[in-house]
Amino acid sequence: MKLHEYQGKDILRQFGVNVQDGRVAQTPDEVRQIARDYGQAVVVKAQVHVGGRGKAGGVKFSPDADKAFENGEKILGMDIKGLTVNKVLVTKAVDIDAGTEYYVGMIVDRNEQSFTLMASAEGGMEIEEVAAATPEKIIKHRVDPVTGLRPYEAREVAIKAGFKGNLNKIADMMVKMSEAAFARDAVLVEINPLFVGPDGVPLALDTKFEIDDNAMYRHKDLADWRELEAEHPLEIEASKYGFAYVKLDHGNVGVLGNGAGIVMTSLDVVNRAGAKPANFLDIGGGAKADIVYNAIKLVSKDSDVRAIFINIFGGITRADEVAKGVIQALKDGILTKPVRMRIAGTAEDEAKALLAEVNSPLIQMYSTMFEAADEAAKEANASEAK
Amino acid sequence: MGILVNKDSKVIVQGMTGREGASHSRAMKEFGTQVVAGVTPGKGGTDFEGWPVFNSVAEAKAATGANVSIIFVPPAGAADAVLEAAHAGIPLIVLITEGVPTIDMMKAVQEVKALDAASRAGGGQGIRLIGGNCPGLVTNGEAKVGIMPNRIYEKPGRIGLISRSGTLTYEAAKLLNDAGLGTSTTVGIGGDPVIGTTFADVLPMFEADPDTDAVIVIGEIGGADEEAAAEYIAAHMKKPVVAFISGRSAPAGKRMGHAGAIIMGNVGTPESKLAAFGAANVPVADTMPQIIDLVKQALKL
């Protein structure tokens, strides 16, 4: 789960990180009030789950309260990469030129089988840009998952990265960020910029924080932070059914299968067949007819979908259960688009018999995933051409 | 014959009395695996469908001489179950559970590796974790410690199979079966970001296995395990290796079901994996059935 800047900052603050003061506003009047309370220049920052807010005009410096109101009006309701800005964070402005901006972050690293701590003197930029242009400017260090990050390690990394200022306090901020990452099951946490002012004291000006979805069960206090409106409506519905579902742009073939690997390969096969997958939908293992029924219901609601490709390799999953789900969807009038499917494995013959009984042109079964995908692609492209 | 498990493997099932544990215990037994006991804390001393159930792995091991454990414990307790088995000295631990928190796995994997090193330093056989979020492993004709459908392993053969994806493992095993080639051992290593055993860990075992002639590596987007495998192959493998990469059309930044299947920045892209295999002279199949053609070519069949 991705957190907003203000939420990530709340967590860091709880772990003792020195975070720039700021409050959340949902109306321009609230923005003005916060600016008045602070009695100084503020920055109004859009709170949306996408990068590049600044470039999109979602972050604005405001020298006084009236300008803050004006900027609040501009930013609230703004569309940034398809997401509407419903909240802004109003923070005290900092004279960046008087100090230095650094980057620190921790990310789950498959290769290290732990977190990797990253630090760079190139603060204020997206770390991916730094990594692409000047990888030598990022210092990396594996964090031991059992001991966590220790102060001397953090100091070493800060020194190697060329950080100037109060090194003990900077290292302490990194240690506290690491404590927050472990305690809150982060998969990613960044403080960027980490601002070091003329007094040498570090201050977190912005943060990214993403929590491991598998660990949400032990962070029930953060469950309210999940914002369904920031997700695609079909993804929200899918989460109710417990499907792994991802809506894909510009697709015309709905794709569903049993298992992440087979669904990923199904997407590849649809592409090869000359059509575009509209979604990734994994119904999981051992799905019964009702789950298949719901999956078809979900995919059929997507107006981009012109045909459906079902790819099942049944181990625990029974082919006849899949067929029953599809047939029920047809009978209930939910299934109106052609379904081209390949179901191999357990109870394949029973499935064929059930489908033969129904004998609808909307449902066809093939013996390989390629034939099924080709037919689904053909149907989808023909339907679009009309 | 094969690697890691065989007809002499004695298997205990942690979480045998749960729904998944029970059904797969039966399926493993049908396959011919020596399932010797179950472990369910609190149910020690009872009997489950003819199997004795113990409160702890240590008790089960002492009573049965088990040398493999397969874990069906729910995510919140799964890493703890791994550590219990490792500290009891079970040399091969297979974690099937999907959805284990990544930090739990980081800690468990590191501890298992330390126990493995200590065991080897003391002249022991070491401790290996396979998974989590994996389908397990099968030495065809001998033993299955996993959840793969039994009937895709009708024909034992001489092709080793390593895969990050469960369903694609089934697909490949069936293709090999139907092509009359068959498999030696299949190892599903799992799709999570932090797993106990990687491609590069399994490859040397197949290289050394007299019953394996060629190896198939089934990778997917995300991470750099395939790149590491390619490096190992180029430097050390004499047996032919054929690869397949799933998710080549997946968009960057979106997580495709598996926690590990996500392209982040420039890491984990299909291009990087294809380039690595290309540099190692490992042919990469465009489709699953093409894997068979490439294996046949490599073995001049």
Helix axes A233-241, A289-301, angle to 10 degrees: 180
* CB–CB contact B107 A248 (8 Å): no
Residue in A with minimal Cα distance to B148 = A315
> Among partner residues B169, B191, B218, which is closest to A260 by beta-carbon distance?
B191
* CB–CB contact A267 B100 (8 Å): no
Residue where the block lists tokens 């010797």: B36
> Among partner residues B110, B223, B259, which is closest to A214 by beta-carbon distance?
B259
Residue A102 pLDDT: 96
* CB–CB contact B167 A370 (8 Å): no
- Catalytic residue among B24, B87, B236, B258, which? B258
Residue in B with minimal Cα distance to A50 = B253
**Substitution target from A265, A270, A346, A348 for chain B, most B beta carbons within 10 A:** A265
Residue in B with minimal Cα distance to A268 = B249
Tens of pLDDT, residue by residue over A347-380, are 788 888 998 998 899 999 888 899 999 999 999 9
- Give Dmax (Cα) for chain A: 81
Sequence letter at residue B16:
M
Q: Which residues of A are annotated as a binding site for ATP?
A: 45, 52-54, 94, 101
Residue A111 pLDDT: 86
Q: What are phi and psi of B163, to 5 degrees?
A: -150, 145
Chain A residues close to B196, C-beta within 8 Å: none
Buried b (16+ CB within 10 A) or exposed e, B194-215: bbbbbbbbbbebbbebebbbbb
DSSP bridge pairs for A202: A196
Nearest to A194 by CA among A214, A177, A210, A216: A177
* CB–CB contact A267 B259 (8 Å): no
Give, for all 386 residues of chain A, the pLDDT tens digit.
889 999 999 999 999 999 999 999 999 999 999 999 999 999 999 998 877 788 889 999 999 999 999 999 999 999 887 788 999 999 999 999 999 999 999 999 888 999 999 999 988 777 777 877 888 889 999 999 999 999 999 999 999 999 999 999 999 999 999 999 999 999 999 999 999 999 999 999 999 999 998 999 999 998 888 776 556 778 778 878 878 888 888 899 999 998 888 898 999 999 999 999 999 999 887 778 999 999 999 999 998 999 999 998 876 678 888 999 999 999 999 999 999 999 887 778 888 899 899 889 999 988 889 999 999 999 999 988 77
* CB–CB contact A111 B224 (8 Å): yes
DSSP state of A225: G
Q: Which residues contact B278 (CB under 8 A, 6 or more apart)?
A: B284
Residue B253 pLDDT: 67
Question: How many other C-beta atoms are found inside a 10 Å radius of the C-beta of residue B12?
Answer: 29
| Burial (0-12, 13-18, 19+ Cβ within 10 Å), A132 | exposed
Chain B residues close to A265, C-beta within 8 Å: 168, 171, 246-247, 288
N-term to C-term CA, chain A: 41
| Burial (0-12, 13-18, 19+ Cβ within 10 Å), B217 | buried
Residue B147 pLDDT: 92
**Residue B258: active-site member:** yes
Chain A residues close to B171, C-beta within 8 Å: 262, 265, 313
Chain B residues close to A215, C-beta within 8 Å: 101-104
Chain B residues close to A213, C-beta within 8 Å: 259
- Catalytic residue among A38, A103, A245, A293, which? A103
CA dist B236 and B204 (Å) reads 8
User: How far is CA B16 from each of CA A373, B85, B129, rounded to the nearest angstrom?
Assistant: 39, 14, 19
**Substitution target from A110, A140, A239, A346 for chain B, most B beta carbons within 10 A:** A110
Residue B259 pLDDT: 53
> Among partner residues A110, A259, A265, which is closest to B224 by beta-carbon distance?
A110
CB B278 within 8 A of CB B194: no
* CB–CB contact B102 A145 (8 Å): no
Please tell me the distance in Å from A311's CA to the nearest CA on chain B. Answer: 11
The alpha carbon of residue B262 and the mean position of all alpha carbons in its chain are separated, in whole angstroms, by 20
User: How far is CA B239 from each of CA A128, B14, B201, B234, rounded to the nearest angstrom?
Assistant: 38, 36, 16, 11
CB pairs under 8 A between A and B: 155
> Among partner residues A111, A267, A285, which is closest to B249 by beta-carbon distance?
A267
Please work out, in degrees rounded to the nearest 5, the angle formed at the alpha carbon of residue B102 by the alpha carbons of B98 and B104: 95
CATH number of A21-93: 3.30.1490.20
* CB–CB contact A267 B168 (8 Å): no
Tens of pLDDT, residue by residue over B234-292, are 999 999 999 999 988 777 767 666 555 666 555 678 888 999 999 999 999 998 999 99
Helix, strand or coil for residue B130? strand
CATH fold of A97-225: D-amino Acid Aminotransferase; Chain A, domain 1 (3.30.470)
Q: Name residues of chain B where pLDDT drops below 70.
A: 253, 255-267
The tokens describing A137, both together, are: 């400017």
> Among partner residues B23, B99, B220, which is closest to A214 by beta-carbon distance?
B99
Residue A228 pLDDT: 60
CB A117 within 8 A of CB A140: yes
CA dist B103 and B113 (Å) reads 16
| Structural domains of chain B, ranges and CATH numbers in brackets | 10-131 (3.40.50.720), 155-299 (3.40.50.261)
Q: Which residues contact A81 (CB under 8 A, 6 or more apart)?
A: A48, A50, A52, A56
**Residue A103: active-site member:** yes
* CB–CB contact A215 B257 (8 Å): no
DSSP state of A159: H
Nearest to A279 by CA among A238, A241, A332: A238
Residue where the block lists tokens 């069960």: A217
Residue-range domain boundaries for chain A: 21-93, 97-225, 233-385
CATH fold of A233-385: Rossmann fold (3.40.50)
Residue in B with minimal Cα distance to A181 = B103
For CA atoms A172, A178, A181, A184, give the dihedral sign: negative
CA dist A274 and B66 (Å) reads 52
CA dist B184 and B205 (Å) reads 12
Q: What are phi and psi of A284, to 5 degrees?
A: 85, -175
